[in-house]
Structure 1
């Protein structure tokens, strides 16, 4: 997940920055049939989050190859940079817009529809035969405001589950025989792990991983609609149930539940600590399942996936996890929606929604499928197989991404302090200020 902030309209006026990053999209709309906006020619220009090294890259490459073989349309693909949102915005401003962007619905991409970077796709899902194929929950996640009547910002593809990972070998070695389900049990487990020289819950307090874990804890006593409102508009300090959750976070922090120096850690450090057996617990998404196996540490063989323990009196009846469909999907630019290019875009996007193709992504990248077919046969990864059975043992908390929007980076800065020594009052004030901008 990429976390970038700032108003799109301001940045697209910065010509010097535009020129620098737009050069990275030289393959989009440059020469020959790519530059000809009056005719689609035999190519389609795509910027993709699934860049080289991503677990979905191989499955994507197979789709590109099959699509070109079937249609004769060449795919001019540009790898999305870490700042893919800036990359695309700057390319659009420089007149080098791609036709399709394969990207997360997060932060600045949430504003692309209003900014004129992309177009709504409500009509296309019916015309292209996808309306009955895609899960209503997946479509709702991609609607403006997450509401049933909101405009559809793109087509969801890569859903995710986001459980808590427990190294059962380390827990047993520390005398923790069962996965903790309450925060009291979590605190007790942390003490026993530390006594054995093992870090408890590792988290990137300096990036998005820490942000997500904070919110998972902070909403422990709050209903979904109230939490969504607070995340979107502020009012952390003024909402007693949210303040109770923030205090719970600091209590867990002060009890030593989080790994040492969490405020200085990032996602890479978190993964490394868990995969290597230096930490016993982490909260991580399904996109990391294949990475865990690829670490060649054998961690997948002694990892149990479950939820985050909940406190007494919590809104949730079971330990919590995240689930959603705001992972990677397809967004269509104005250029891609032009009458002479949209047919190639249609053929390209719908080629991804064949069951066998989705299954290929399930197998390679452990995505949560956006369609209703049974893909269990493709879940060859042991962690993914566990993940598909989580629904009966966890409650799902509100994923903050859509609701906090462009306040994400300022919020991360506030929460870095929260993983340090910030008091509940300082945390809530910081979150209110970050939300109101």
Structure 2
């Protein structure tokens, strides 16, 4: 299945791409004029710099880099979820920034293939940085043609967080590991007016949890096929959808989950209005200390006959990477200095210690001030890993899958309708 963002399509899109709304301090004009011809000015486009997890550490790193390289300047352009669209707009005008810090998902999947960014494999080797990257991370950032899309940086563990105190209050004696135990726990929690599993059923958090549950009866290869092609008709996929529907209609998820978003989910869990959430590292790092003290992390409960032998979590090494643009190749010496600095063990360690970030790079540093992040790192063989579908979903299907997710979390929607909604999301792809 081909990406809709072909080279011709990318160029033709220029007339239809409106500049996205950008954060304060960065006008749409400045995004389009991000490229600086001064070889001593590096232009970096990032989601870090405001409230995104790791922003204070990142800004401090930029300050250290400037002090260590007094002849160089760094211009930091900031966007949120609209970063990919803003970057594409600037690239169409040939005024793109030199380096882009963003994850591998949706629009960005096509960038290297259409020349919006360059293959960094040669740079990774020439600069001697390959050995700093975890092998699994390098594999995830490498495409089918052997090109390395970007320099891997942030990773994430994505376990299930259980508020032990709320479970105890409801009379739930142990962390549920089976679907039946989860349903029983949900009923007891509701008696105490506590939401069971909170989830952003109307955004990417719900999409990921739905994919994780559907994979209960799927091997990794079967899951890869389903999410690459949009074919959810296999026996395992149908059983996974039916398992999800059973849990949903038994009241496992928070009320009106189909309208919740990630912020709603985090708020409900952190204020102890809900007992359970599917939480990636950045969410675990935000859990208040008083809540974290009685929170445990584990996997998603399994059903009888599951393809996995232990409760599942998600992991990915594609959360943020450093992409090099065509303009960046014109300042490659400056880009090299910047990436060598960001890959230094001391720089990496500060993201782990100060921000609770999981990294795609080798490090012995532990998130001591972020106990739940560290606990997720220690789960190891006590859980099974489901496939994060991001790099397999065609870009054109990514947003329609969010709509399908909201439909799926709507109580009363049959398993057949959930499957139809998922498969419909792929029709434009």
Which TM-score bucket, shorter chain as reference?
A: over 0.9
Deviation digits for residues 350-375 of structure 1, max 9, x if unmatched? Answer: 21111111110012222222223311
Deviation digits for residues 47-74 of structure 1, max 9, x if unmatched? Answer: 0011311221111112211211222211
Structure 2: runs of 5+ lacking an equivalent? none
Partner SS for 1:117: coil
Q: Which aligned segments of 4 or more residues in structure 1 are displaced greater than 3 angstroms? A: 5-8, 18-23, 27-30
Residue number in structure 2 paired with 1:136: 135
Partner Cα separation in structure 1 for residue 203 and residue 75 of structure 2: 32
Residue number in structure 2 paired with 1:24: 28
CA 104–78 in structure 1, closer or farther in 2 if over 3 Å, else same:
same
Is the aligned partner of 1:194 residue 2:190?
yes
User: Shift of the alpha carbon at 1:6?
Assistant: 7.4
Residue number in structure 2 paired with 1:248: 243
CA 182–20 in structure 1, closer or farther in 2 if over 3 Å, else same:
closer
Residue number in structure 1 paired with 2:353: 363
Q: How many residues are paired up?
A: 417
Partner Cα separation in structure 2 for residue 248 and residue 50 of structure 1: 38
Residue number in structure 2 paired with 1:109: 108
Residue number in structure 2 paired with 1:305: 297
Is the aligned partner of 1:69 residue 2:67?
yes
User: Shift of the alpha carbon at 1:422?
Assistant: 2.0
Deviation digits for residues 218-247 of structure 1, max 9, x if unmatched? Answer: 01011101110110112112x111011001
Instruction: Map residues 11-410 of structure 1 onto 2, 5 A cutoff.
Output: 12-14=13-15, 17-18=18-19, 23-24=27-28, 26=30, 29=33, 35-36=36-37, 40-71=38-69, 72-145=71-144, 150-237=146-233, 239-293=234-288, 298-338=290-330, 341-376=331-366, 378-406=367-395, 407-410=397-400
Partner Cα separation in structure 1 for residue 228 and residue 146 of structure 2: 16
Is the Cα contact below 8 Å between 2:356 and 2:369 reproduced in 1? no
Is the Cα contact below 8 Å between 1:290 and 1:364 reproduced in 2? no
Partner SS for 2:313: strand
Is the Cα contact below 8 Å between 2:183 and 2:250 reproduced in 1? yes
Q: Which moved more, 1:156-165 or 1:9-18?
A: 9-18
Residue number in structure 1 paired with 2:427: 436
Is the aligned partner of 1:424 residue 2:422?
no
Partner SS for 1:175: coil
User: Shift of the alpha carbon at 1:11?
Assistant: 6.7
Is the Cα contact below 8 Å between 2:33 and 2:90 reproduced in 1? no
User: Shift of the alpha carbon at 1:430?
Assistant: 2.0
Is the Cα contact below 8 Å between 1:287 and 1:366 reproduced in 2? yes
CA 336–412 in structure 1, closer or farther in 2 if over 3 Å, else same:
same
Superposed CA RMSD in Å reads 2.0
Partner SS for 1:101: strand
TM-score w.r.t. the length of structure 1 is 0.91
Deviation digits for residues 370-409 of structure 1, max 9, x if unmatched? Answer: 2233112x43211122112111311110001111131111
Partner Cα separation in structure 2 for residue 19 and residue 384 of structure 1: 33
CA 15–266 in structure 1, closer or farther in 2 if over 3 Å, else same:
closer
Is the Cα contact below 8 Å between 1:28 and 1:76 reproduced in 2? no
Q: Which moved more, 1:394-403 or 1:9-18?
A: 9-18
Is the Cα contact below 8 Å between 1:155 and 1:331 reproduced in 2? yes
Partner SS for 2:49: coil
Partner Cα separation in structure 2 for residue 365 and residue 161 of structure 1: 14
Is the Cα contact below 8 Å between 2:231 and 2:423 reproduced in 1? yes
Partner Cα separation in structure 2 for residue 64 and residue 166 of structure 1: 36
User: Shift of the alpha carbon at 1:12?
Assistant: 3.4
CA 248–229 in structure 1, closer or farther in 2 if over 3 Å, else same:
same
Residue number in structure 2 paired with 1:415: 405
CA 168–25 in structure 1, closer or farther in 2 if over 3 Å, else same:
farther
